[in-house]
Chain A
Amino acid sequence: MPRMTMIEAIRDAMDVSMGRDENVVVFGEDVGYFGGVFRCTAGLQQKYGSSRCFDTPISELGIVGVAVGMAAYGLRPCVEIQFADYVYPAYDQIVSEAARIRYRSAGQFTCPIVIRMPTGGGIFGGQTHSQSPEALFTHVSGLKVVVPSNPQDAKGLLISAIEDPDPVIFLEPKRLYNGPFDGHHDRPVTPWSKHDLGDVAANHVTVPLGKAVTRREGSAVTILAYGTMVHVALAAAEDAGIDAEVIDLRTLLPLDLDAITASVKKTGRCVVVHEATMTSGFGAELVTLVQEHCFYHLEAPVARVAGWDTPYPHAQEWDYFPGPARIGEALRAVMEA
């Protein structure tokens, strides 16, 4: 099985999808000739031609708006927003259009599009290259929201997203593109070539949307995480010496509630982790669901560890980022409660 970085896995997913279905088209800013600022689409224009992989004007609204129109025609656009931080001009097209077209037209028109975007911090990207806006999309009926944490999942989830009949927001944790960053920013990062989840099956492979996976089995406490924070949570449990069960949600909408409740009912404790700002973040939804479905199994209040409610700072990145130390504190607090 070939070892791939997350970038290579994402590119491979698009390559496989374009090879199988000529309705799949790929476009965005710097996506065509150059192959994307993160190189996720490198080689696709040469292989499939400029009708199926091309550069666009700098207009996120335009990119998503034409994707919606193309989907109405019958294509399956997989578009790139250069950074999740730049998606806001397209928000109306996503929320009022892509997400609702199936519903409002009673199925006459559908919107099978994928909107890929690098998300999250940890790269000294400042406020415009570090945000985690997933909760702005999980709040929208009609969307699906996916956040992979490794190359293997990235490929399988992206192929599933492209083949899905509904619009999918595909958030790619950019800090994971080249290796499983565990939050210890002062240590070298292991490349994916030295990690089992860098094993990516060749050709067509899928990971189903809406299914979480257990990354570490444990009995003391459940950590719910996704994207970069899966690796940070694993490191935090290790550092704290606590037998935590780490659930990688993979898809936030629809959510694998069964996996969450099974784990929390087993451990009786739960810590919810995300990079995005705390207030009204996706963690609020997770905590609520755990409370609704697992209340009588809980031994302690559910804890949240998240980004502070400030804009994403530059110099203070590691004061902002919810790293292993902060997760460790929460784990200890939950264990001692």
Chain B
Amino acid sequence: MVETRKGGLFVPEPEVRPGGQPDFSKVKIPRAGSVERPPVDVDPATIRDMAFSIIRVLNRDGEAVGPWAGTLTDEELLEGLKHMMTLRAFDARMQMAQRQGKTSFYMQHMGEEAVSCAFRRAMEPGDMNFPTYRQAGLLIAGDYPMVEMMNQIYSNEADPLKGRQLPIMYSAKDHGFFSISGNLGTQFIQAVGWAMASAINNDTRIAAGWIGDGSTAESDFHAALVFASTYRAPVVLNIVNNQWAISTFQGIARGGAGTFAARGLGFGLPALRVDGNDYLAVHAVAKWAVERARMGLGATLVEYVTYRVGAHSTSDDPSAYRPKTESDAWPLGDPVIRLKNHLIRRGVWTDDRHKQAEAEVLDMVITAQKEAEKHGTLHAGGRPSARDMFEGVYAEMPPHLRRQRQQAGV
């Protein structure tokens, strides 16, 4: 039964606000291993129920179970753990660097590390991501030099983007990472365009588009689904549902639909939901969707169900809009701890080695940070030249910019 409106506008509200007791009892979490794994050439019409379930591999005992298990070796899983730990340590140091005034802004991944780290390992060299601002795991897990990321964050003299972009709006073409916009949703339709170009060229490379739960409300999202569906573009369309769009809970963008994945059903796209805090499940689903795209079977819409443990950015304070303890109550746990427990269960990892690895990772991050800071930070040391500001607006500088550069005296 649907309640009738009582007067005034109906505005959805989250279950709990600050001061309340976090309650995720209405979030239905299927048992790990319980969701089927269809063949990649499945008729999307026959798997519509998958848009309302959650694919999970790791169970509460740290075991990998069900038809989506088994896509990764021990070594690959250990590597995955290291990537997530590295991203977390990197975030902690950069968050602190922002507080120390070494940069203007930072956005961390706490709780969402598995999504981008595991996805990256399902892609091949030459594939292209069109990321949002919370997928740095694509770079970390793709072995992009961390010092370069820091140089960008510091906008220092070695910044590969010459000080032009807000911190963390990386661009790394050779690592399959498209320039981050910062305007929300724009990259989703661009990913479809890149994929269409690949198809036009009879290429086997694929694209991956990324968007957050809140930004699915942008028209770019809907245009992307239309074009991806119409032209069967070789693209994986990823929605990271971390429950919060700054202060706005996911129900505001989702509206009356059961899930974000279900948005794909009207377009005839296969729509999967996956436990975004389960490294193994993310990898298995990514691999399935990537394979589908590469075989020419078209686009897949994937919703990663996760939780943004940290603030939206260094300019945000979540205690103003959600209970402080809400992240502890999140039923899908912590991606790093879950993979760690699984590796211990597999007999290839121990608590001691984990502690040791934490220290090693931190050491590596600090070493990179020292290296980056040799090139300066936002307000101290080497910085990009003012002359650089006028370069690269066009391939060739037009006369009016030349005049303005002279006027600026740089």
**Using a CB–CB distance below 8 Å, which chain A residues touch chain B?**
25, 51-52, 56-57, 59, 61-62, 65-70, 72-75, 89, 92-93, 96-97, 101-110, 141-142, 144, 165-166, 210, 253-255, 257
> Do A75 and B197 have beta carbons less than 8 Å apart?
yes
Residue of A nearest to B230 (CB): A57
> Do B398 and A97 have beta carbons less than 8 Å apart?
no
A272 to chain B, nearest CB (A): 17
Count, chain B residues at interface, CB 8 A: 44
Partner of A166, one of B192, B220, B223, B395: B395
19 more A-B contacts (CB under 8 A) besides A75-B197, A75-B200? A68-B190, A69-B189, A69-B190, A69-B195, A70-B194, A72-B128, A73-B194, A73-B197, A73-B198, A74-B197, A93-B186, A97-B190, A102-B394, A103-B393, A108-B172, A108-B179, A210-B399, A253-B398, A254-B400
Residue of B nearest to A102 (CB): B392
Known: A65-B220, A102-B395, A106-B162. A57 touches B226 (CB 8 A): yes
A258 to chain B, nearest CB (A): 8
A2 to chain B, nearest CB (A): 31
> Do B162 and A108 have beta carbons less than 8 Å apart?
no
7 A/B residue pairs, CB under 8 Å, sorted by A: A57-B227, A59-B227, A69-B192, A72-B178, A96-B183, A97-B183, A255-B400
> Do A105 and B223 have beta carbons less than 8 Å apart?
no
Bound complex: CA A56 to CA B223 (Å): 11
Bitwise interface map of B from 181 to 203 toward A, beta carbon under 8 Å scored 1, else 0: 10100100111111111111100
> Do B192 and A109 have beta carbons less than 8 Å apart?
no
Residue of A nearest to B161 (CB): A106
Residues from chain A with a CB closer than 8 A to the CB of B398 are: 210, 253-254
> Do B193 and A61 have beta carbons less than 8 Å apart?
no
Bound complex: CA A108 to CA B174 (Å): 9
Residues from chain A with a CB closer than 8 A to the CB of B220 are: 61, 65, 92-93
> Does B260 touch A at the CB level, under 8 Å?
no
> Do A106 and B226 have beta carbons less than 8 Å apart?
no
> Do B400 and A66 have beta carbons less than 8 Å apart?
no
Residue of A nearest to B174 (CB): A108
Residues from chain A with a CB closer than 8 A to the CB of B196 are: 66, 69-70
Known: A70-B193, A70-B197, A109-B171. A65 touches B224 (CB 8 A): yes
B145 to chain A, nearest CB (A): 15
Residues from chain A with a CB closer than 8 A to the CB of B178 are: 72, 109
Residue of A nearest to B190 (CB): A69
> Would you list which residues of chain B between 375 and 410 have a CB under 8 Å from chain A?
392-395, 398-400
Partner of B194, one of A25, A69, A166: A69
> Do A92 and B400 have beta carbons less than 8 Å apart?
no
> Do A72 and B194 have beta carbons less than 8 Å apart?
yes
Residue of A nearest to B403 (CB): A257
> Does B164 touch A at the CB level, under 8 Å?
yes
> Does B141 touch A at the CB level, under 8 Å?
no
B210 to chain A, nearest CB (A): 13
Residue of B nearest to A141 (CB): B393
B394 to chain A, nearest CB (A): 5
A257 to chain B, nearest CB (A): 6
Partner of A66, one of B160, B165, B227, B395: B227
Bound complex: CA A25 to CA B198 (Å): 13
Known: A69-B194, A257-B399. A104 touches B179 (CB 8 A): yes
Known: A57-B227, A62-B189, A92-B183. A105 touches B194 (CB 8 A): no
> Do B171 and A108 have beta carbons less than 8 Å apart?
yes
**Using a CB–CB distance below 8 Å, which chain B residues touch chain A?**
128, 130, 160-162, 164-165, 169, 171-173, 178-179, 181, 183, 186, 189-201, 207, 219-220, 223-224, 226-227, 230, 392-395, 398-400
> Do A69 and B393 have beta carbons less than 8 Å apart?
no
Known: A57-B230, A97-B186, A165-B395. A104 touches B171 (CB 8 A): yes
Partner of B190, one of A52, A66, A74, A257: A66
Residue of B nearest to A257 (CB): B399
Partner of B186, one of A51, A56, A65, A106: A65
Residues from chain A with a CB closer than 8 A to the CB of B172 are: 108
Bound complex: CA A263 to CA B200 (Å): 48
> Do B186 and A96 have beta carbons less than 8 Å apart?
yes
Residues from chain B with a CB closer than 8 A to the CB of A97 are: 181, 183, 186, 190
Bound complex: CA A257 to CA B403 (Å): 11
Task: Pick from A56, A62, A110 the residue with the most CB of B within 10 Å.
Answer: A62
Bound complex: CA A36 to CA B171 (Å): 37
A13 to chain B, nearest CB (A): 20
> Do A104 and B195 have beta carbons less than 8 Å apart?
no
Bound complex: CA A108 to CA B164 (Å): 13
> Do B197 and A104 have beta carbons less than 8 Å apart?
no
Known: A255-B400, A257-B400. A105 touches B161 (CB 8 A): yes
Bound complex: CA A141 to CA B401 (Å): 10
Residues from chain B with a CB closer than 8 A to the CB of A109 are: 171, 173, 178-179
Residue of B nearest to A209 (CB): B398
B27 to chain A, nearest CB (A): 33
Residues from chain B with a CB closer than 8 A to the CB of A92 are: 183, 186, 220
> Do A65 and B197 have beta carbons less than 8 Å apart?
no
Bound complex: CA A261 to CA B330 (Å): 68
Bound complex: CA A73 to CA B186 (Å): 16
Bound complex: CA A251 to CA B202 (Å): 36
A131 to chain B, nearest CB (A): 21
Partner of B193, one of A67, A101, A105, A166: A67
> Do B207 and A69 have beta carbons less than 8 Å apart?
yes
Residue of B nearest to A144 (CB): B394
Residue of B nearest to A254 (CB): B398
Task: Pick from A67, A108, A110, A165 the residue with the most CB of B within 10 Å.
Answer: A108
